[in-house]
Amino acid sequence: MPKETKERYIQLVTAINHYRFAFHVHDKEEISEAALDSLKHELAGIEEQYPENIVPESPSQRVAGKPLPQFKKVRHEIAQWSFNDVFNEKELHDFDTRVKRFLKDSHQGLMPEYVCELKIDGLKVVLTYEKGLLVRAATRGDGEVGEDVTQNVRTIEAVPLVLTRAVDCIVEGEVWMSASNLEKLNIIRKKEGAEPFANPRNVAAGSIRQLDPKIAASRKLDVFIYDIVAFSEELPSTQTEELNLLRELGFKVNPHFKTVKTVEGIIDFWNTWKTKSKREDYWIDGIVIKVNERQLQEALGYTGKAPRFAVAFKFPAEQATTILENIVLQVGRTGVVTPVAHLRPVSVAGSTVSRATLHNEDEIKRLDVRVGDTVILQKAGDVIPDIVSVVLELRPKKSTPYQFPTHVPECGGDGRIERVPGTAAWRCVDKGSPERARRTLQYFCSKKGLDIEGLGEKVTAQLYDAGLVHNFDDLFTLQEGDFLTLEGFAELSAQKTVAAIHTAAQHVPLYKLITALSIPHVGEETARDIANHFLAIEKIRKATLEELRAINGIGDIVAQALVAWFSDSANTELLDRLLTHIKIVSPAAPKKSVLPLLGMTFVFTGTMEMSREDAAETVRTLGADVSNSVSKKTSYVVAGEDAGSKLDKAKDMGVTVLSEGEFRHLTNVK
């Protein structure tokens, strides 16, 4: 193992052991489970490559933490295993290959079928019954010794105290708290001035480990039982039959399981529940795949820590860890310089990420993020990934704080940058930098701008670098021959692109033009407000500070930016030239008496079946405004799948939340 890899390996072992001890022994989630999974996955990759260098204290060699001293220790009659994790289809195929190769050699080529079950995010418990009576409940602990939590588990109504048959058995399951009960509990805690709980898993673990059973009883915990590890009668021949037997004995079994014959069937089940998991009232962080036939399970057996016949296929994490390899300053369309983290590629929320915004100098200082750091990356839905924090335990010894430079070559001229007074932003001193010009041109042609088909970032950069386009109006003078000089263009594609430019020019909504001009602080929603208020570009050009401030949602900064932009002769000359090429479509003056949602403000969050753009346009036509943030002025928050902090804020502020179905009913959208 190379020296650098070995140092990283030892750091990972130390850090993961620290986080696991805090999580399993003291119920302190110092790092998210998704981020911890990411670290463990990196560790597993190193150990797979260098198995001869695995150290005894590696977290891969044991199951979990030690029991707390406040509880009586219980030695498990049957060793408690944990599942190995897989994170993508390739790793799942590798598991399937290993299973079939082993069975081909040892069982005359018998091929297995698999059972897919939901992986509930809670606390594992082991229940022991004698002659049908519950005699003991224990946590998993370190796999050999757990904690006696019988009194607390007895308070869970879903746990049968007496089985339907007087059998001896040991079963395993997962204790969990519903998301709705957590919400109710946190409302009470806020009223009492206590900190709200972060997630249901932590509450379940903490409740089971309460010394006072009355506290556990008040938490209204639940349980799913999924396995029989010891039985006084003959066990069923398959896992599916075992789940049915558990039901017959009186246990609560999760109803969502499926038997499949192929890896493709597993992937279909995983994809289905990756989407549906948010609809359940309990947390699901993946699926568990088991060989269905008990005979084959026994043949496959166990490794030192996990069964060979089963794995957990985790859902894409919204958090992951990776290494920050560089910080690069990117020049935006308004000349603002944004620090961007260049990352070792990592999968987050189902997509590979190699870049993350660091926002500004103050954010870098707040995070104290440095080149070489291991960082926790977070992504929710379509949101640009953010760096949440730094894993300080893995920081390189010779790291130094990041210093914002004074010059950026992409700014043009001498490359000087300056901090914008009163803000955390830096910008190019030279307003005519080539990089800024490229980005403003790209934005002008983008979907938020004039939405010119065929003029993506690559093509617009080619046009600028070739000297064919300097300003926006130059686009509308391009001929087919100009495109033929660019790499990747043939006669037909050149014709289509020129036609697309002229088509876009014939129908330019006023708000789209205002957005496309890249006026500082003026985004799409602000541009709509301005267009709907003035209805004509000439009125906007002549608007005073007082007239602009009078528009709902327009503050001093935006008003001053607009007046400054239209006061610059270079900008107004550009606009005059542009108006000779395009046809502006002004919004119709609203008929207030027939707009049912007039005066209301909507916020959209999460993934919806209809696009959020279409949903926003729907309410605008009915008189409502659309905002990107939740405030006291918000009338409704429409929440789709994977809704994030906006939904939480709406609940905290008492703003009405609509599902997509309720939104469609309100707006008569089918």
- Per residue in 184-243, pLDDT tens? 888 888 888 887 887 788 888 888 888 888 888 888 899 999 999 999 999 999 999 999
Using only C-alpha atoms, the chain has a radius of gyration, in whole angstroms, of 30
CATH number, domain 434-506, options 3.40.50.1000, 3.40.50.1100, 3.30.365.10, 1.10.150.20:
1.10.150.20
Residue 143: is its pLDDT beyond 90? no
Burial of 492 (0-12, 13-18, 19+ CB in 10 A): exposed
Laid out side by side, the sheet with 284-291 consists of 84-86, 310-314, 284-291, 114-120, 257-260
Q: Where in the chain is the domain with CATH 3.30.470.30?
A: 73-314
For residue 407, report the phi and psi dihedrals to the nearest 5 degrees. Answer: -135, 140
> What digits encode the pLDDT tens for the residues 393-404?
999 999 999 999
CATH architecture, range 73-314:
2-Layer Sandwich (3.30)
Amino acid at 569: S
Annotated catalytic, 314? Answer: no
User: Where do we find the tokens 């309990």?
Assistant: 282
Q: What is the pLDDT of residues 305-355, one digit of tens each?
A: 789 999 999 988 778 899 999 998 888 777 888 898 999 998 887 778 888
All CATH 1.10.150.20 domain ranges of the chain, comma separated, are 434-506, 509-585
Class of domain 319-411: mainly beta
Which of the following is catalytic: 6, 73, 119, 651? 119
Q: Where in the chain is CATH 3.40.50.10190?
A: 593-667
3-state percent breakdown (helix, strand, coil) of the chain, nearest 5: 40, 20, 40
From 289-293, 310-314, 422-426, 492-496, the region with the lowest mean pLDDT: 422-426
Asked if CATH classification 1.10.150.20 holds for the domain at 509-585, the reply, yes or no, is yes
Q: What are phi and psi of 598, to 5 degrees?
A: -60, 135
Q: Tell me the sheet residues that pair with 117.
A: 257, 288
Return the closest-CA partner of residue 77 out of 169, 7, 159, 6. Answer: 169
**CB of 385 closer than 8 Å to CB of 356:** yes
- DSSP summary character for residue 261: S
CB-based contact 266:289 (threshold 8 Å): yes
pLDDT category at 613 given cuts 50, 70, 90 is confident
Residues of the chain with CATH 2.40.50.140: 319-411
Every domain range in the chain assigned CATH 1.10.287.610: 3-61
Residue 565 pLDDT class (50, 70, 90 cuts): very high
pLDDT above 70 (res 138): yes
Exposure string (b/e) for 439-454, b if CB count within 10 Å is 16 or more?
bbbbbbbbeebbebeb
pLDDT of residue 64: 46
Strand partners, 415: none
Say yes or no: domain 3-61 is CATH 1.10.287.610.
yes
241 SS3 class: helix
User: What is the CA angle 248-254-257, rounded to 5?
Assistant: 100
pLDDT over threshold 90, residue 554 = no
Q: How much is the pLDDT for 383?
A: 60
- Answer whether residue 299 shows pLDDT above 80: yes
Residue 368 has what pLDDT? 95
Could you tell me the CATH superfamily of domain 593-667?
A: BRCT domain (3.40.50.10190)
Mean pLDDT of the chain: 87
Strand order in the sheet with 656-658: 625-627, 601-605, 636-639, 656-658
In the block, which residue shows the tokens 């080619």?
A: 462
